[in-house]
Structure 1
């Protein structure tokens, strides 16, 4: 038997003589809170005893023992005054009875003194024990000794303790021989305290040795019993007021928290911590359920237990703050889809013996709570339970008293609010009402958070959809804008091409038409006739070359142009082109400088394509070079482990080419702004044909245009890279 059971036994013994209901008690020193129902949570109207305690209370003595009492060392009037002062000066009602026990123990020159209050409508029992200073070494075993003592005293109290007379036992061992000789309590003097004709407590004076209690001591104990009864009643009233205030504070805090829509984990933390503190229990925690079957809605749909996972959402231990899962963890996720989604959880590592999660089928108490919902599971003492399945989850050996209230919403069990205490205790009806109310508020908070989370998820989903739609529209708009810009550029190129073709076709034809008319003149001199014939030949050749360029470009792009590979000397090819271009450039004052190795530069390639590339590049350089400038052509042979190639660099000085034009310079019919502004002849096909022919012979070409310092001119360089040996696999 433990301390609390002993207290319950003695309280039951007192109640049987006075018809007072005893529902529970606690061991030394336990501060238990009484409970009020939802409608009873406001403090009841009680009459204050301060006015009665403003002056020392004087116990009433009969004439037959008054003189004897006055000759005894303890003065009942002085004891009454001390009790009154303790009541008036003690700010904490929990220490009042212990101080009174100290006064009584010293006044009776006893070894120990016990004062116990009886459970009332709103106050749970309280038991305190005082031990003399010279016997403090026995205090460690006092709880066990008291438990054995109550096992003996309980039947004696039922038979011998009257409503007003004390019970004196000079030697317990003489009455009962089942106690060991080491048990220190041998003699006891017991009296029941009464207030307003009802028993409200018990006073026990004890000695370690057998002792004959005198009538004087009995009279003194009887004389001070009224003062102690008043003190017990006052302490109970103060505890009732404090407990009712705690209840109301908890209710107000939860109500405001839910209205303020704060985070649900904070509401649950507040609920479990506030409830555990108000009921003065050792531990509390909230369990949440996750159903494997998302369509499972109500318990009434099936008699079988559903497959569900139980997770610990938050936990409270005496002296520690409530431990809660972090935001974004399984607790936060479980509220978003408490009934129909996956849920996992973790708790802060307090002193809890609970796992972070377990199956509903693994816990007998959870199964019972689920099946009994909406009614709570109430365990006063673990000894009341016949099975031990799943008890290790709640550590009932350490916490034998348990209250498990379901969290429900429209018939669906969301979880459980669990309270545990280190000592056996009866759960008062007012306490049950409070815990049920808190559970209802916690369920409301969970459902409210779930609804908000669902709406938030829906809003986020719709927002994401809208964002994606806007992004798609933006991409489509950007694509359309690019296409419009491309169409505009193509249209501009088309216009420029038409203009160029018109000029390139119409001008030679016009010239040829004039020459033909002149040749028809009969009296035309021979010299003039020869000149007109030469003009006809030049213009006809120009038209043929234009058509040839178009056809060649079309063949190369369609990859229908054949490749005739042969070994050629690049130095010789360059020399063959140098003389004709030197004559063409003579009028403009251009000079061609050639820089090449002294040895031959032999390579395998298509001779016609290479010649056409060099002709177009030199022609282009002649058109856009400044007068009296130098056109440089440098040839080098690059050999390494990775490459074996010939690099040609054709450089001239002229107008700058913008970076934008550089990007598009090799496109068909593309003419630079300089060519357009200066009316330079051309169709825009030359460089496009060069790029196609270079790719045709597995080469590469690039263009740079770099400003020359202190001038408005740029150095333009075409870099042509040709493989020394043609790779047939790249055709």
Structure 2
């Protein structure tokens, strides 16, 4: 019996070595050494004698060699037809399990560190109900095998102490036998195939040889899966890199073309948060008037105001292309935007400020004890978003803000992600500095522009005032010339008539009648000269406020009736009629009688002088409160608006007066205005054109108050 066992063991070594040499020719694989569990000879004899009756009833029959030749072809077909790595490994494990007639099969793809990264599992109907649990138990058991890099056959797992997992948990494996076949591709192990049986089983040399042959196709399949995974990973890296580059390019273009800093910051935080697939992003700024803010000690916390200037969160993500409308909508949906607090009120911001220029990465689920003596501002909502990354915004060593991103779960930041955050923080810092610089320049330009505008306005006012003064001087000079011309005319004409009358009186033999006529001319012209000089002197006194008031109570009705009788006879040659409109109640006016008489005489003289022939002059008096309003209306030539402005000026007469040979000095209405002002009254003129006529209704309205008698 012992001899037969020794012969059996020797034959096993021989066949397994042949199998190993045959496997070495496949795909340039380095042939693995065959691991054999060395047991005492007596234990082997006992195991073989005990297993003999079990193999009759419990061990499944193995397939023939044709099945194993077809197994490789079947695996190749699975590789060609299946594009899903998970489904491919599952189908391969099923093909192996059915080909070797085992209870379950586990195909594992391993990385360079021989750690499992993808598995395919199959089990018989007998184990189907506990498939998921058994799969994880088998993986734990594989990690405890003596050797996973070489062909390993264990007839009975009870001989090994692998009933406990690496965490010390009880595996309670329902299987008792395993065959482990490593797969090699281009000299490197890329997988592991394990065949499992429910009962102890003595793996035959035929099983080992067939498994090594069939493992070649699995190695190729696993290599293809690894290659597909590497390609997918590379595509993800390229896609991520492209996405990051697009975000940087978009931010760069926005910084160049968009003057609105709010839109630039919103674009930066939204594109960065979307690229990194985080749940929330914030841009916060620090503003301080502290002199030590720029040149501060390492642990110094300045008195600075923290303000949220931009916010993005996944709940308000509008999706699609980032447009101006989307950015504005995102700003409108922001909750924390423009909220402020002091730096001393938030331990998180203080730690980030101290940690600058290095970014601060914290997970409050793990690192909360760091701030157990401080308070984190509730604005950051660390309860829901405990994973925080704060990247400083700097300029020449001064930290003036942070780019902050938050997640509900912690994550390991990749190099390319940190690079993106660094580039974005530089772009944001540059945009903020440029905006501040442009704002300062704009403020300076606005200030200088305002100063220049003020200077121009002053110069314009000075120019306008100078121009007005020049115009006034020109007007004054013109008035002087007109005054001289008028005075010369008004003085010379009477003097000429007087001189002529005197010469005629000196004519020898002149009759008495002619003497009387020439004397009348002398008297008339002399009186005219006296009146002109008197008016000029009186006007000068009125303008210099040198004329005293002699107040009297005047009966308006009596005064107007006397004037009507006087001017009715005077205007008879012109065919003028005069109408008086007086109220039934007597009107009394307390004023200066001489000034009042002169005003009425001048107004009636002016009306009779310019009224058309055979028309009426209307004289009306009414009361308005304690004032007396007297109007003189006649039908005559229209007074143009530009003449109405200057009609009360000295020596100013209307257009066409000279052509119509209407006598006058231009002092009458000027004297009226001065007298009215002397009596604290007002006077105004209106000219209403008459339809279908070149004439107009001209009305002078005089308003005089009751002057009180001084005590």
TM-score w.r.t. structure 2 length?
A: 0.70
Structure with the greater relative contact order (CA < 8 A, sep ≥ 6): 1 or 2?
A: 1
Structure 1 residues 185 and 238: alpha-carbon distance in aligned structure 2, compared to 1, 3 A threshold? farther
- Measured in 1, the distance between the counterparts of 2:233 and 2:454 equals 62
The aligned residue for residue 315 of structure 1 is: 311
Alignment partner for residue 489 of structure 1, among 444, 469, 475?
475
- Aligned-pair CA distance for 1:61: 13
Higher mean displacement: 252-261 or 499-508: 252-261
1:269-348 to 2 correspondences below 5 Å: 269-293=266-290, 298-300=294-296, 303-318=299-314, 320-321=317-318, 348=332
Alignment partner for residue 371 of structure 1, among 327, 347, 354?
354
Higher mean displacement: 411-420 or 219-228: 219-228
Tell me, yes or no, if the aligned pair for 1:631 and 1:652 is still in contact at 8 Å. Answer: yes
The aligned residue for residue 362 of structure 1 is: 345
Structure 1 counterpart SS, 2:572: coil
Deviation by residue 1:373-420 (Cα, 9 ceiling, x = unmatched): 221112367414532342744334433433222122221223222233
- Aligned-pair CA distance for 1:687: 0.9
The aligned residue for residue 42 of structure 1 is: none
Deviation by residue 1:23-62 (Cα, 9 ceiling, x = unmatched): xxxxxxxxxxxxxxxxxxxxxxxxxxxxxxxxxxxxx999
1:117-136 to 2 correspondences below 5 Å: none
- Measured in 2, the distance between the counterparts of 1:432 and 1:533 equals 122
Structure 1 residues 635 and 431: alpha-carbon distance in aligned structure 2, compared to 1, 3 A threshold? closer
Tell me, yes or no, if the aligned pair for 1:311 and 1:358 is still in contact at 8 Å. Answer: yes
- Measured in 1, the distance between the counterparts of 2:480 and 2:699 equals 28
TM-score w.r.t. structure 1 length?
A: 0.68
2:575 paired with 1:589: yes
Structure 1 residues 66 and 667: alpha-carbon distance in aligned structure 2, compared to 1, 3 A threshold? farther
Structure 1 residues 515 and 176: alpha-carbon distance in aligned structure 2, compared to 1, 3 A threshold? same
Structure 2 counterpart SS, 1:587: helix
Tell me, yes or no, if the aligned pair for 1:705 and 1:717 is still in contact at 8 Å. Answer: yes
- Measured in 1, the distance between the counterparts of 2:474 and 2:117 equals 95
Structure 2 counterpart SS, 1:581: helix
- Measured in 2, the distance between the counterparts of 1:184 and 1:669 equals 132
Structure 1 residues 600 and 431: alpha-carbon distance in aligned structure 2, compared to 1, 3 A threshold? closer
Structure 1 residues 227 and 609: alpha-carbon distance in aligned structure 2, compared to 1, 3 A threshold? same
- Measured in 1, the distance between the counterparts of 2:337 and 2:200 equals 52
2:641 paired with 1:650: no
Structure 1 residues 429 and 300: alpha-carbon distance in aligned structure 2, compared to 1, 3 A threshold? farther
Tell me, yes or no, if the aligned pair for 1:166 and 1:191 is still in contact at 8 Å. Answer: yes
- Measured in 2, the distance between the counterparts of 1:424 and 1:315 equals 20
The aligned residue for residue 513 of structure 1 is: 499
Tell me, yes or no, if the aligned pair for 1:191 and 1:225 is still in contact at 8 Å. Answer: no
The aligned residue for residue 241 of structure 1 is: 235
Tell me, yes or no, if the aligned pair for 1:273 and 1:321 is still in contact at 8 Å. Answer: no
Alignment partner for residue 720 of structure 1, among 686, 692, 702?
702
Structure 2 counterpart SS, 1:555: helix
- Structure 2: state its 5+ residue gaps: 1-30, 36-60, 124-128
RMSD of equivalent CA atoms: 5.5
Tell me, yes or no, if the aligned pair for 2:590 and 2:707 is still in contact at 8 Å. Answer: yes
Q: Tell me which structure has the larger Cα radius of gyration.
A: 2
2:522 paired with 1:529: no
The aligned residue for residue 57 of structure 1 is: none
- Aligned-pair CA distance for 1:659: 0.7
Tell me, yes or no, if the aligned pair for 2:79 and 2:221 is still in contact at 8 Å. Answer: yes
**How many residues are aligned here?**
617
- Measured in 2, the distance between the counterparts of 1:600 and 1:83 equals 130
Tell me, yes or no, if the aligned pair for 2:385 and 2:408 is still in contact at 8 Å. Answer: yes
Tell me, yes or no, if the aligned pair for 1:380 and 1:427 is still in contact at 8 Å. Answer: no
- Measured in 2, the distance between the counterparts of 1:68 and 1:313 equals 75
- Aligned-pair CA distance for 1:657: 0.9
The aligned residue for residue 663 of structure 1 is: 645
2:602 paired with 1:608: no
Structure 1 residues 386 and 721: alpha-carbon distance in aligned structure 2, compared to 1, 3 A threshold? same
The aligned residue for residue 258 of structure 1 is: 252
- Aligned-pair CA distance for 1:689: 1.6
- Measured in 1, the distance between the counterparts of 2:498 and 2:565 equals 28
Structure 1 counterpart SS, 2:614: coil
- Aligned-pair CA distance for 1:597: 3.7
Deviation by residue 1:70-107 (Cα, 9 ceiling, x = unmatched): 999xx8976775566554xxxxxxxx566668868999
- Measured in 1, the distance between the counterparts of 2:356 and 2:77 equals 53
- Aligned-pair CA distance for 1:718: 1.0
1:32-43 to 2 correspondences below 5 Å: none
- Aligned-pair CA distance for 1:590: 2.8
Structure 1 residues 196 and 322: alpha-carbon distance in aligned structure 2, compared to 1, 3 A threshold? farther
Structure 2 counterpart SS, 1:416: strand
The aligned residue for residue 543 of structure 2 is: 557
The aligned residue for residue 434 of structure 2 is: 448
- Measured in 2, the distance between the counterparts of 1:662 and 1:613 equals 18
2:682 paired with 1:693: no
- Aligned-pair CA distance for 1:506: 1.9
- Aligned-pair CA distance for 1:540: 2.7
Structure 2 counterpart SS, 1:375: coil
- Aligned-pair CA distance for 1:253: 4.7
- Measured in 2, the distance between the counterparts of 1:119 and 1:460 equals 67
Tell me, yes or no, if the aligned pair for 1:613 and 1:693 is still in contact at 8 Å. Answer: yes
Tell me, yes or no, if the aligned pair for 1:564 and 1:607 is still in contact at 8 Å. Answer: yes
Structure 1 counterpart SS, 2:370: coil
Structure 1 residues 266 and 711: alpha-carbon distance in aligned structure 2, compared to 1, 3 A threshold? closer
The aligned residue for residue 23 of structure 2 is: none
1:123-202 to 2 correspondences below 5 Å: 157=143, 162=148, 175=164
- Measured in 1, the distance between the counterparts of 2:364 and 2:188 equals 28
Tell me, yes or no, if the aligned pair for 2:109 and 2:222 is still in contact at 8 Å. Answer: no
